Amino acid sequence: MFQNKIILIAILIGLAVRVNGVSGQATNFSIASEHHIVNIAIDKKEARVVQIAADMLASDILNVSGKKPEISSVIKEMGIVAGTIGESRLIDQFISNKNLDVSQVKGKWETYSLQVIANPDNKQGKILLIAGSDRRATAFGLLEISRMIGVSPWEWWADVIPEEKENLTIAVENRIYGSPSVKYRGIFLNDEDWGLQRWAALNYEPETGDIGPKTYAKVFELLLRLRANTIWPAMHSCTKPFYFYPENKQVADDYAIVVGTSHCEPMLCNINAEWDSDKMGEWRYDSNSEAIKHLFESRAKESAGLESIYTMGMRGEHDSPMIVGADDTESQVQLLEQVVRDQRVILRKKTGKRAEELPQIFIPYKEVLTYYQNGMELPEDISLVWTDDNYGYIRQLSNAQEQKRKGGAGVYYHTSYWGRPHDYLWLNSTNPVLMWEEMAKAFEFQSRDLWILNCGDIKPHEYNIELFLDMAWDMSSFEKSESVKTHMDYWAGREFGEKNAQTVTELMYKYYHLAFQRRPEFMAWSRVEPVCKPGETTLSQIHYGDEVSQRIDAYQALVDNVIALRDRMETNRQDAFYELVYYPVVSAANINHKWLYAYKNKLAAQQGRSSAAYLGQKSLEAYQRIQQETDYFNSRLQNGKWKHIMNMSPRNLPVFSIPIIAAGVNTEEAQLGLALEGYEMEVNDNVINSFADVLPVFNAYTHNRYFIDVFLKGDGKINWKAVANADWIKITKTVGAINHKLPEERIWVSVDWDKVPVGKNKKEAPLGHDYQLIPPGYKVNSSIDFVTADTTISIGISVFNPKLKELKYYKGHIEDKGFVSINAENYSLKKAGKQADWQTHEGIGYSGKVVTALPRSADSQFHLQSIVNNSPVLEYDFYTFNFGEAQVYLQAIPTHAPNSDRGVRCAVAIDDADPVVVDFQTLGRSEEWMQNVLRNASVQSVPQIVNKAGKHRLKIWMVDPGVMIDQILIDLGGWKKSYAFPRVQR
């Protein structure tokens, strides 16, 4: 039953198929039963990849049914017949006999059909025909059957052990699969130093001592299962170059995998390891071109006859800028043009083909992009491959003219990166909805010839790899942001059982949401290049409910949920769950806890809290937990299969180090300490006119709650009680005891709004908290007394409760303490423009949703009048108790303009003011860009006037399509800086 549901889901969401032809009713086809096992027939002359795929399918059937099919060139009564049109005698026979129509398959790129027919020799039998347009298509068709019988593409790489079934029947609907949305689809094995290389050299392939043909065979097997066709091999100096081992290129050809190389590896040459400056001279084309051309010629000759994608142009050694004699841009452009001309001559001479017949790419990355933008001429048949900014935001895409190029365009995208402002090489923390949004944009701008994902060591990037390649296979199945959740539900159901699918998806969405706000590797607030010490967190511990504690609690909830899930996971999926979900979640939680508890330890020590030691211990325990889980991954999981694959400290950066813990200062005598939300200092009765003894004002229209920390100073034990001096004051705990085992407690104070008296408008002096910006009047005041054996400390409580008639049924956003905080998706009204409208993307942003202007093909608006007349507009009703100058802060996803024809802009106005344009575009690797990618947020502000207390309307117009608005803050002077905008409370 479960298997049939998985097949149905795959068909519905298009993960397994792209339908180009007419399909009929599904036909049941028996693969195995108590007395039967299917035969697999392929022509002896078929390409090696077809034979490999047939062997993989046979092994998959064995693992599911316990019976292994025979593979032969003879068609049996009940069998699978697979072949490549024009290359397979078996398939061509069915075509010539009119039993198989391949008109929608023949001659197309990587297209195949599945069709069940009656056996021409025995009408009682059935034959499942797999007809491929080329060798990869046939292999994909065979492995489609593996998917149908419930075998995960990750059956080896993530130990997803299939369910055993004695009777194995699949429902086959006659369909056409392909052609894929993107021609070349694959991965880049990069920054492999800490995982893949060590695992291969010391564990999986010790006979080579490296990432060699045995390892690549397993990588290529994964690519076939994921319907990918391209590899950029590992290229760091710790790994021997791909062509160093002759078997590597043969294995690639056997698996029909196309070999390409990155932006700094021209003509399939690994400059890191293949260029010896001592013997070959300096790596610079202006003075040493003959030696460089000799290397290019050697590789072109070696790769002739194999499927390859040649990277054209060149950069400097070790991914550095190209060295040239003249430093003016025009000379640099001319030299790079000469490099490309010479490379094309070499290709023509060494491969025997015209250069324009060979796949070639040009990657405008870093300074090469500058050369291209300054007029570099590039042959039309070379594909432009655009890159993201290394943090998931595509820098540039083809403009209207570039989209007409014969060579088309592609994208090189990162989910793993080494470099400034900070690496993220350990866990997969790229939000899948962000990746979908950027790749959907790339697809819309016609980047459809090559998609490459830099996935580091493969593990733990499994889900994002599959999502990336599934999108590349069929982008029509991913039209909306919700498609990602549908995809993840399918993935989770296939890997962990349908009953666990929704729970796993919800858990992973929360994991990615927290990582989007700040990646685990960025939690030390440190930088690289150069490496610096950990910095001060910008998460607030004293305002808005304590951002540090909120993040601790959110991750703890994830840990609790993932542990509960693991406990009820089926035995055959325990290891897969550990690799795909448990380890990433628990590790991300603990590196967060390590740093978050360290930040709390530091503040507690400054305040003299005895809890400093406890908080420091929690930080150390989190560090130790990461050690324990990583050791289990490497040493015990699958009996050591993955030893050396996981490293909890890539590059030994400060973020991964053992935390430095501050010691608290203890007094001789135990004392009661109180710290209130909104104050960095604790309550101190010895300070005259101290304002740290009054909670922020409670607002009847925002229903706040605030915390009070009750903590121990010194050694001993203190019993305390909290006495509310009004019946409308609610306290989560009224009595307690603090000691060395429980050195502090956090209690929450709120208001019973059914009991609190209505505030009267009367002249009243403020309580000394000008930042609260609650106007005098309408307040109700009381207090809470904290009582010990020898001390009473009173904490002031002030409630703003005017019961204004105009707010009785008001649905807009309401000011709280001098600011109005709004999630962008909570608009009061939206109006479509002439070409575009605002749409909501789910699963991304600080609030979990963003509003974006689509379609991206709409025209940008450059003049205020056209903005007002033509652009879609969002409108937000809001109410203020204060008035005057205000700053309107907009937080957007830090995307880049797709090309010079566009920007990343919107326009803002309050009430009837003229729109003011807000621009989120950044240039290069500026400090602003660095802050944006570390936070996954771009915050800009514009001044506005709130001319009176009362009702107002904020308007946001599209200026450029694609701009994504996350959150809004209207600050009338009361916002205290925090990492995120204050949470919306109503």
Q: What is the pLDDT of residues 724-771, one digit of tens each?
A: 999 999 999 999 999 989 999 999 999 999 999 997 766 554 444 443
Tokens read off for 789: 């054996």
Asked if pLDDT for residue 775 goes beyond 70, the answer is no
Please classify residue 978 by burial: count the beta carbons closer than 10 Å to its beta carbon, then call 0-12 exposed, 13-18 middle and 19+ buried: middle
Tokens read off for 805: 């008639």
Nearest to 896 by CA among 285, 369, 295, 388: 388
Give tens-digit pLDDT for 61-90: 999 999 999 999 999 878 999 999 999 999
Q: What is the pLDDT of residue 19?
A: 33
What is the rounded (10 degree) CA torsion for 827, 830, 833, 837? 70
Q: Which of the four pLDDT bands, split at 50, 70 and 90, describes residue 686? A: low
Average pLDDT on 830-837 reads: 97
Q: How far from 11 is each of 14, 213, 471, 493, 837, CA to CA, in Å?
A: 5, 35, 15, 14, 31
Whole-prediction pTM: 0.95
Over the range 867-880, which residues count as b (16 or more CB within 10 Å of their CB) and which as e?
bbebbbbbebbbbb
Q: What is the pLDDT of residue 794?
A: 95
Asked if pLDDT for residue 13 goes beyond 60, the answer is no
Q: What is the pLDDT of residue 124?
A: 67
Task: Note if the bond before 855 is cis, omega within 30 degrees.
Answer: yes
User: Quick check: 70 and 40 in contact, CB under 8 A?
Assistant: yes
For residue 130, what is the enclosing H or E element?
Answer: strand 122-132
Q: Which of the four pLDDT bands, split at 50, 70 and 90, describes residue 691? A: low
Q: What is the pLDDT of residue 667?
A: 67
Distance of alpha carbon 878 from alpha carbon 95, whole angstroms: 69
Q: What is the pLDDT of residue 8?
A: 40
Nearest to 798 by CA among 891, 726, 874, 905: 726
Asked if pLDDT for residue 719 goes beyond 70, the answer is yes
Asked if pLDDT for residue 256 goes beyond 90, the answer is yes
User: Hey, which of 114-128, 691-705, 936-950 has the most confident mean pLDDT?
Assistant: 936-950
User: Quick check: 777 and 764 in contact, CB under 8 A?
Assistant: yes
Who has greater pLDDT, 596 or 123?
596
Give tens-digit pLDDT for 704-713: 999 999 999 9
Average pLDDT on 870-888 reads: 97
For residue 747, what is the enclosing H or E element?
Answer: strand 744-751
Distance of alpha carbon 610 from alpha carbon 710, whole angstroms: 11
CA angle 562, 221, 165 (to 5 degrees): 60
User: Quick check: 112 and 178 in contact, CB under 8 A?
Assistant: yes
What is the rounded (10 degree) CA torsion for 249, 253, 257, 260? 40
Distance of alpha carbon 213 from alpha carbon 216, whole angstroms: 5
| C-alpha radius of gyration, the chain, whole number | 32
Give tens-digit pLDDT for 306-355: 999 999 999 887 777 776 666 788 888 999 999 999 999 999 999 999 99
Q: What percent of the chain has pLDDT over 70?
A: 94
Average pLDDT, the chain: 93
Q: What is the pLDDT of residue 17?
A: 36
Tokens read off for 575: 């290891």
User: Quick check: 546 and 615 in contact, CB under 8 A?
Assistant: no
Asked if pLDDT for residue 5 goes beyond 80, the answer is no
Q: What three-state secondary structure class fits 884?
A: strand
Asked if pLDDT for residue 803 goes beyond 90, the answer is no
Asked if pLDDT for residue 237 goes beyond 80, the answer is yes
Nearest to 595 by CA among 614, 616, 613: 616
Give tens-digit pLDDT for 514-565: 999 999 999 999 999 999 999 999 999 999 999 999 999 999 999 999 999 9
Over the range 465-487, which residues count as b (16 or more CB within 10 Å of their CB) and which as e?
bbbbbbbbbbbebbeebebbbbb
Alpha helices in 183-305 (DSSP H): 196-199, 213-225, 246-254, 271-274, 277-280, 285-303
Contacts of 962 (CB under 8 A, 6+ apart): 441, 852, 853, 854, 856, 895, 898, 902, 904
Picking from 392-406, 459-473, 749-763, 765-779, which range would have the lowest pLDDT averaged per residue? 765-779
User: Quick check: 438 and 397 in contact, CB under 8 A?
Assistant: no
Give tens-digit pLDDT for 130-162: 999 999 999 999 999 999 999 999 999 999 999
Give tens-digit pLDDT for 484-494: 999 999 999 99
